[in-house]
Structure 1
Amino acid sequence: MLEGGDLDVLTGDYLAELTMLILGRDLAKNPDLGYAKTFLRQLDGCLATAVDRGVTLVTNAGGVNPTGLASAVRALAEKLGLAARLGRDIRVATVEGDDVRAHPAVPRHALTANAYLGAFGIAECIRAGADVVVTGRVTDASLVIGPAIAHFGWTRDDLDALAGATVAGHVIECGAQATGGNYPFFTELPDGGRRPGFPIAEVEADGSSVITKHPGTGGAVTVETVTAQLLYEVDSPAYRGPDVVAHLDTVRLDADGPDRVRISGVRGSLPPPTLKVGVSTLGGFRNSVTFVLCGLSIEDKAQLVRDQLTSAVGKDGLEFRLARTDHPDPADTESGSALLHVHLKDTDAKRAGRAFSAAAVELALASYPGLTMLGPPGDAAPYGVFEAYAVPQEDVTHTAVLPDGTRVPVPPPAETTTDLAPEAPPQPQTTPRREPTARTPLGAVAGARSGDKGADANLGVWARDDAGYEWLQGFLTVGKLKALLPEAAAVPVERYDLPNLRAVNFVLRGLLGAGGVAASTRFDPQAKALGELLRAKLVEIPVRLVS
């Protein structure tokens, strides 16, 4: 990114729900850690280039110890001799205040508790001339909004501009996912999706933007690649942030030349009075093993293992999932085998560790015929639980620590509102046209992108043209989704329409189970493959759309 073309700011998003748990454990072991060490290793090879080119670096890699990472960056600059090149010391600033473990709304046993801060602290650091801005937990989009605030002088009243930058930040926060990475139609990309470049947001004074990439890099920037990322890990169309609520149903996407997509029309409204707080706690210990069941009597073999393990270790915390990957009249062992996934979670490390492993291994000569495993069980490993809380914005001491050490308080927004997002609107009642159809995978006419938000999953589906959207909007109701994806039938599902994107977005409440990704034993714990599963389903599609 630094060598491929002009940049003003280079952002780096290193944090996820699971990452915060990992960094919290690092900090508990060593007070000098708690930040993303990979950022520091990467910086070793490019800090000098960024300084030479005058590119400001903004990253949330500070994790749960932004001060520690800032000190490490200064030490790296000294090692690289940058002061002599610059004629001054490198200017490193931090954003602090997200650690709210002491807040009364947060459980006392929390390992980490971090409020999702907004962008105005980052803007203060950049206005003070920082070469590198290190934050803890800010919203992903804040990494883009902050530099735009500093450059254009936006205030909290510039809601539409802030909302536009929020959308730009959301598009580029996951890197190559906006340029063809994880894209359902990857075979159509110029290089087949082999090495997509990283996206660039050219943000303008009114908050509109153009998404592009450096010339000569792989992948592509199209309306559909941008749509795919816009639908990733979103809830209702009212996309909540600490500084503004961006209304995704107002987003307009237009091609603006080769590998250029313009984002415009985004409307913003007042933010909520509270900040989201991600809380990580240690949930206990876990272990797992997968038995391979080959040939006949698959269900009986699985039941035998269930009975034997339950008898050996007890039923509490024990989970079994049978994946019928076997085929009749198989050509080889693999195609004739099913997989029985067994998980155990417990607060007792010995039961989840030695007791479970011993019970599983002892079945090798005393269970079903042909017993084998994908690998032996190991030692018990600790797992974490993620929960989302909310605290009033005014309870958080959002602070910008400037390069000279000056601490600048960042006040919360003066105006907020609790009237943020309507309930999911009623489903449109349409009468299907009587016309010829063909039983075809849904993915032949629709793209999809899915992901996780704590215990919930989202599944965004878009049509490739107007005719496809007209059909999709009437066809893919909540009831139809539950019929196509039986695992969704047991949870509340909301559908939101995004006509400007020719898309519908489903939110599947509680699909991933309590505790979030770190505690999940699902085969697809982050619901990343849920969209592709839906696209593989055979449905009756009008012949005019698939011919």
Structure 2
Amino acid sequence: MATFRREKCTINITGTNRAVRIAGASGGFSDRQRAISSLARLDVDIIVGDWLSECTMTLHGAQKMENEKLRAEGRLMEQPAGLFDPTFIENLSPALPDIARKSIKVAVNAGACDAKLLARTVENEVKRRGLDLKVAYVEGDEVTDVVNRLIKGGEKFTSLMTGKDLKDWEYTPIYAQCYLGGAGIAEALKNGADIVVCGRVADAAPAVGAGMWWHDWNRDKDFDAIAGGLICGHLIECSAYVTGGYFFGFKRLMDGCANLGFPIAELFADGHCAINKEPDTGGKVSIGTVASQLLYEIQGPLYYGSDVTANIEGVVMTEEGNDLGMTAIGGYQAEFHVYICGLDLEAKAEWVEKQIRHSAGDAAKELSCSKFSLNGYCPDNPRNQDVATCDLRIFVQTKNKKLVDKSTLDVPGFNRWCMDNGLQGCPGWTLGNDQRQSEGKIYYEYYVSLLPQSEVQHRVVFPWLGGNTLDVKPCANMKVYPRDQPSYETSNPVNLKSFGPTTRGPMGWVVGGRSGDKASDANVGFISLLTIPKIQYLLDEEYKGGKIERFEIPGIRAVHFLLRDHLDRGFNSTSTYDTLGKNVCEYLRSKWVDIPNKFLARGRF
């Protein structure tokens, strides 16, 4: 359950039940570096942030295993790069004086694959500034050895995306991390930590931990309150997403878009929250922006966390197992771009594709993926040459960089297949002037499953106490949920004709929404009611034939769809432009439908 207040709204509550003020400082490594400094100047109790993603987890995990290999071979340099977010210290350092002076707490997951080293780095920066702040770190998220042991013991590790078992995956896991909850953060704060550094805790876990610490929630029975903290954490985990970032009504916020405000949540003892934002900043906190973020990266009516599960449709809460992500080396990939101009673009693209496939010869048989994508179109009577020019993207993947007949993804190789046809090409084509992407580069596959919490050694380390540790035991009351969540159609469908005359136009004129990714699954939610067949129809050529699941959120008049295995394996290995599923919704909003005129009369987004 969550309640929302607009920005600049004040609330006066006294006594021990005062809400904890949680500021969301980051939704990823590409967020604004000013965040912690700006928020530390405000009246907040704790600053939280998420610096990790499936992309960064994969890259850090693969690099860690490479470091261990080099160390075993005696080839690792003395000081390898830290396997934590390299931008975090730059974000934190300027804020440390305010954090110390105002006794503000900090809890972040920027530790990636080396939370211990990042904690030591933070300690050194605190000392350099002459401050007295205690730094703890949470560990236990790295479970590579546990996973390998369980695999040997016959554990299936069923994919949350495809429903297939790990044995059916074509790759060998090299690294595994699980998503810890917020209980370790809470214990660190209760035992005197000022700054808590974590590796892979769930995106919402820092806010959950803040609520557990502040309100002294009991993990074994305060499920409703903790579930409210989980939803609160979800709302602020992507920072400005809840204050106007990626908002379907963005045109209404254009005046302040240069500097969107970071969110501040007031989380109350019963688990409800009020969302606010920095004063004197752009963006907006409204039902629309908050509902948009609520719909982001969910997978059904049950929002899973490692501390509790929140039922987004109601208020029934319970506990479930940790999510688990495994990384494997997928092989090598490369891409080449040809620009095609003018008339008959599809025929020209077909000409180029036939010639490149001919140049590849038998090497093409060794490609696990070879994709030719014509992107863009030439408008009627184009006003200049650039708008008449489209991008033909040639994308390939293979497990082995060296192919048959001495062919390769090195340059020259794949690069040469594409350039070989320069004087046999169709009219109106030219090479891109940057050939660096045509050099084969390694890519990684990512696999998501579940791991029992009993197999996780979740603990907090207190360096200022000589490295003492505190084990964080799983909740005593646990429940295992099935992979597939409840899915249903609307109970009272209404004929479109009952709304009167209609106008043909893009659905996005009157329907807002948000989409995102969970590995290869895509989720998309709309502030409207649509059916599964309608979504399948609107997807058009984008529909991959996978299962589509649906549920409704009546309180915000929204409907949510989960597109199973829609994203071609996810960020690190996908052959598509939409690496994170964020554009699925905008594609669907651009599709033309019959819109009742009475809806258009209310205005367009």
Using structure 1 for the length normalisation, give the TM-score.
Answer: 0.89
Partner Cα separation in structure 1 for residue 435 and residue 355 of structure 2: 16
The Cα of 1:348 is off from its aligned counterpart by 2.6
Q: Pick the aligned partner of 1:441 from 487, 501, 506.
A: 506
What secondary structure, in the 3-state scheme, does the structure 2 residue paired with 1:343 have? strand
Alignment partner, residue 394 of structure 1: 454
Letter in 1 for 2:459: T
The Cα of 1:425 is off from its aligned counterpart by 1.7
Partner Cα separation in structure 1 for residue 585 and residue 490 of structure 2: 21
Q: Pick the aligned partner of 1:366 from 424, 429, 435.
A: 424
The 3 A distance-change label for structure 1 pair 17 and 248 is: same
Partner Cα separation in structure 1 for residue 278 and residue 346 of structure 2: 54
The 3 A distance-change label for structure 1 pair 369 and 444 is: closer
The Cα of 1:361 is off from its aligned counterpart by 2.6
What secondary structure, in the 3-state scheme, does the structure 1 residue paired with 2:513 have? strand
Letter in 1 for 2:556: L
Worse-superposed segment, 25-34 or 354-363? 25-34
Alignment partner, residue 410 of structure 1: 472
Alignment partner, residue 450 of structure 1: 515
Partner Cα separation in structure 2 for residue 131 and residue 324 of structure 1: 52
Alignment partner, residue 285 of structure 1: 332
The 3 A distance-change label for structure 1 pair 120 and 491 is: same
The Cα of 1:192 is off from its aligned counterpart by 4.4
Alignment partner, residue 356 of structure 1: 414
Matches within 5 A, 1:241-260: 241-250=305-314
Partner Cα separation in structure 1 for residue 387 and residue 201 of structure 2: 47
Gaps spanning 5+ residues in structure 1: where?
251-266, 463-471
Q: Pick the aligned partner of 1:347 from 373, 378, 399.
A: 399
Aligned residues: 512
Letter in 1 for 2:442: P
Matches within 5 A, 1:216-235: 216-235=280-299
Letter in 2 for 1:504: V
What secondary structure, in the 3-state scheme, does the structure 2 residue paired with 1:155 have? coil
Alignment partner, residue 495 of structure 1: 550
Q: 1:273-331 CA deviation, whole Å, 9 max, x = no partner?
A: x3211112221111101211112332332222222222222322321112242223333
Matches within 5 A, 1:92-107: 92-103=135-146, 104-105=149-150
Partner Cα separation in structure 2 for residue 411 and residue 243 of structure 1: 11
Report if the CA contact (8 A) 2:308-2:319 is conserved.
yes
Report if the CA contact (8 A) 2:260-2:282 is conserved.
yes
What secondary structure, in the 3-state scheme, does the structure 2 residue paired with 1:401 have? strand
Partner Cα separation in structure 2 for residue 322 and residue 199 of structure 1: 40
Letter in 1 for 2:410: G
Using structure 2 for the length normalisation, give the TM-score.
Answer: 0.81
Matched, 1:17 2:61: no
Matched, 1:504 2:552: no
The Cα of 1:31 is off from its aligned counterpart by 5.3
Alignment partner, residue 467 of structure 1: none
Q: Pick the aligned partner of 1:269 from 311, 317, 329.
A: 317
The Cα of 1:50 is off from its aligned counterpart by 1.4
Partner Cα separation in structure 2 for residue 78 and residue 311 of structure 1: 64
Q: 1:219-244 CA deviation, whole Å, 9 max, x = no partner?
A: 11111110010000111011011111
Q: Pick the aligned partner of 1:480 from 534, 553, 562.
A: 534
Matched, 1:534 2:588: yes
Q: Pick the aligned partner of 2:598 from 530, 538, 544.
A: 544
Alignment partner, residue 263 of structure 1: none
The 3 A distance-change label for structure 1 pair 188 and 331 is: closer
Alignment partner, residue 235 of structure 2: 171
Q: 1:38-95 CA deviation, whole Å, 9 max, x = no partner?
A: 001222222222112211111100001100101111111222222xxx4xxx311011
Report if the CA contact (8 A) 1:23-1:36 is conserved.
no
Partner Cα separation in structure 1 for residue 274 and residue 557 of structure 2: 20
Percent of aligned pairs with the same amino acid: 34
The 3 A distance-change label for structure 1 pair 46 and 227 is: same
Q: Pick the aligned partner of 2:524 from 459, 473, 484.
A: 459
Partner Cα separation in structure 2 for residue 109 and residue 59 of structure 1: 30
The Cα of 1:25 is off from its aligned counterpart by 3.9
Report if the CA contact (8 A) 2:301-2:485 is conserved.
no
Report if the CA contact (8 A) 1:162-1:268 is conserved.
no
Letter in 2 for 1:311: H
Report if the CA contact (8 A) 1:286-1:353 is conserved.
no
Report if the CA contact (8 A) 1:248-1:498 is conserved.
yes
Gaps spanning 5+ residues in structure 2: where?
1-37, 68-78, 152-165, 403-407
What secondary structure, in the 3-state scheme, does the structure 1 residue paired with 2:193 have? coil
Worse-superposed segment, 387-396 or 98-107? 98-107
Q: 1:154-212 CA deviation, whole Å, 9 max, x = no partner?
A: 11110000000001000000000111111111222373433110001111111111100
The 3 A distance-change label for structure 1 pair 383 and 501 is: same
Alignment partner, residue 65 of structure 1: 114
Report if the CA contact (8 A) 1:197-1:217 is conserved.
yes
Partner Cα separation in structure 1 for residue 54 and residue 105 of structure 2: 26
Q: Pick the aligned partner of 1:196 from 260, 264, 273.
A: 260
Matched, 1:384 2:432: no
Worse-superposed segment, 283-292 or 486-495? 486-495
CA RMSD of aligned residues (A): 1.9
Alignment partner, residue 258 of structure 1: none
Q: 1:3-39 CA deviation, whole Å, 9 max, x = no partner?
A: 5420110011101000112222443346551100100
Matched, 1:519 2:581: no
The Cα of 1:105 is off from its aligned counterpart by 4.2
Alignment partner, residue 209 of structure 1: 273
Letter in 2 for 1:116: Y
Report if the CA contact (8 A) 2:343-2:378 is conserved.
no
Letter in 2 for 1:153: D
Letter in 1 for 2:244: G
Matches within 5 A, 1:40-119: 40-82=89-131, 86=132, 90-103=133-146, 104-105=149-150, 109-119=172-182
The Cα of 1:426 is off from its aligned counterpart by 3.5
The 3 A distance-change label for structure 1 pair 80 and 364 is: farther
Q: Which one has more relative contact order, counting CA pairs under 8 Å at least 6 apart?
A: 2
